[in-house]
Chains A and B, each alone.
Chain A
């Protein structure tokens, strides 16, 4: 029987083979070769693509290079969403490698946040963690930590150090013995078809009678269209980290084991492939 801790490792070390191609209208001095990279599902595009940037900047003139941004089939990719979420949401049922187009011009101001430095990524990451703890523990656990603990969470993510990260993150996954779970579950549900970027609501992991709420309960409450019809052909898939967890899975367990490093469950609702 697989230990629950193995799930934590599988989530952390998930990778997506990706092919980066320079946008054809970018002005280059030589032909730009595509760049291949295994992207960590749990990280952020602008955190792990320094080599991609260097590779393409080598064939471009300095003045043609401004802030890098990424696009998949015409859709600008939000760097502040974890990579695994972007893939699941936009490309999970397409052939690998994931083909991403790289841009250095015409930054889409209306679609993407700017990311001028790693500090911006760190601030965003920490803000998500703090918000998750506000939901789980009324911010008590995160506020009791020292600055160096906060730094360790960020450094663990940045340097791909599972043990370093979880040494601190395990405290964010604890709850008082008299409770059976967190106060509320930090989650966001994404559908590429809506203008609203995601659905986020207050949701308790334990019902008033003490039963554990399931993933199915969450969806029924917050996004019922994702799981209708209940019998027969479902038109959508509910995906987390590239898999479809059973709807009977307790949401408390999912929150503890399949959250991203920002402590949120990022759930994609995507069309079921019709082959």
Chain B
């Protein structure tokens, strides 16, 4: 087990910077129609990033279901996912459309001073996916990486603002792997959008992909975070 030794730089994220990076992130998301929004809590003024999308798990999608943005208050996006049918699916279930609604929230942990990814998924009838079902939808190569990666594990936890059950990627080793990814000094990376870096690494593990255009979020485009 590798641990941060005393003196080794861990990249911690202050809450103010977290909010600023999230603001820049949402701006870019709006430009490219990626569906992220910031939600502020009414009582204490803290908040979180939120995105909902639908995954259709089937090959034969009628064309009118693709790329549909509805008029609901929450931006809804369809991600067409083509997956090879495994044995359980091949046995007669191939023509069933399984639509899963995924909801992702990015919150700030003041205890660990890092962002934390919360998510939940349910079928259209409201039935929530179990952790096993969520695992089943993660691509095999990511499953292997998650098991050896430093973000430990996914468990069910209470959402600290909404009070409802969500799945969570454990945050306690986040700063460790961020520093491993970044290398160099915190000084050098003052303008790197921590949220983009972190989310592009952990997101895909749980079915959340960031379009490459986020990488274009150059320091000059970020508002001064000092």
Closest A residue by C-beta to B110: A202
Q: Is B180 an interface residue (CB 8 A)?
A: no
Distance (whole angstroms) from the CB of A222 to the closest CB of chain B: 9
Interface: A134 (CB within 8 A): yes
Cross-chain contact B163 with A113 (CB below 8 angstroms)? no
Cβ of A150 within 8 Å of any chain B Cβ, yes or no, is no
In the assembled complex, the CB of B67 is this many whole angstroms from the nearest CB of chain A, namely 30
Please state if A123 and B163 are interface contacts (CB–CB under 8 Å). Answer: no
Tell me if A25 counts as interface (CB < 8 A to partner B): no
Query: A195 contacts B162, CB within 8 Å?
Result: yes
Interface residues of B in 153-172 (CB under 8 A from A): 155-165, 170, 172
Q: Is A110 within 8 A of B165, CB to CB? A: yes
Q: For B41, what are the chain A residues with a Cβ–Cβ distance below 8 Å?
A: 196
CA distance A140 to B10 in the complex (A): 13
A80-B158, A114-B156 known; A199 and B44 CB under 8 Å? Answer: yes
B residues near A110, Cβ cutoff 8 Å: 164-165
Chain B min CB distance to A65 (Å): 19
Are B165 and A112 neighbours in the complex by a CB distance under 8 Å? yes
Give A112 to B170 CA distance when docked, in angstroms: 19
Give every chain A residue within 8 A of B164 (Cβ-Cβ): 110-111
A120 CA / B161 CA spacing, docked (Å): 22
Q: Please classify the interface of chain B as helix (H, G, I), strand (E, B), loop, or mixed, using the class held by over half of its residues.
A: loop
B44 touching A196 by the CB < 8 A rule? yes
Minimum CB distance partner of A112 in chain B = B165
Inter-chain contact B163/A197, CB cutoff 8 Å: yes
Chain A residues whose CB sits within 8 angstroms of the CB of B160 once the complex forms: 196-198, 200
Q: How many residues does chain B have at the interface if contact means C-beta atoms less than 8 Å apart?
A: 22
Q: A residues within 8 A CB of B158?
A: 78, 80, 113, 197
Q: Is there a chain B Cβ closer than 8 Å to A60's Cβ?
A: no
With an 8 A cutoff between CB atoms, is A135 at the interface? yes
Q: Which residues of B contact A200 (CB under 8 A)?
A: 110-111, 160
Contacts of B112 in A (CB 8 A): 131, 134
Minimum CB distance partner of B41 in chain A: A196
Q: Contact flags (1/0) for A87-127 with B, using CB distance below 8 Å?
A: 00000000000000000000001111110000010011001
Query: Cβ of B3: which chain A residues have Cβ within 8 Å of it?
Result: 143
CA distance A113 to B163 in the complex (A): 10
Mark out the residues of chain A between 177 and 235 whose CB falls within 8 Å of any chain B CB in the assembled complex.
186, 194-202
**Residues of chain B whose beta carbon lies under 8 Å from any beta carbon of chain A:** 3, 6, 41, 43-44, 110-112, 128, 155-165, 170, 172
Given A110-B165, A198-B160, A199-B44, list of 10 further CB < 8 A pairs? A78-B158, A80-B158, A109-B128, A111-B165, A112-B165, A120-B155, A124-B157, A134-B111, A140-B6, A186-B111
User: Which residue numbers of A lie inside 8 Å of B, CB to CB?
Assistant: 78, 80, 109-114, 120, 123-124, 127, 130-131, 134-135, 139-140, 143, 186, 194-202
Closest 7 pairs between A and B when the two form their complex, measured CB to CB: A197-B163, A131-B111, A113-B156, A134-B111, A113-B165, A109-B128, A202-B110
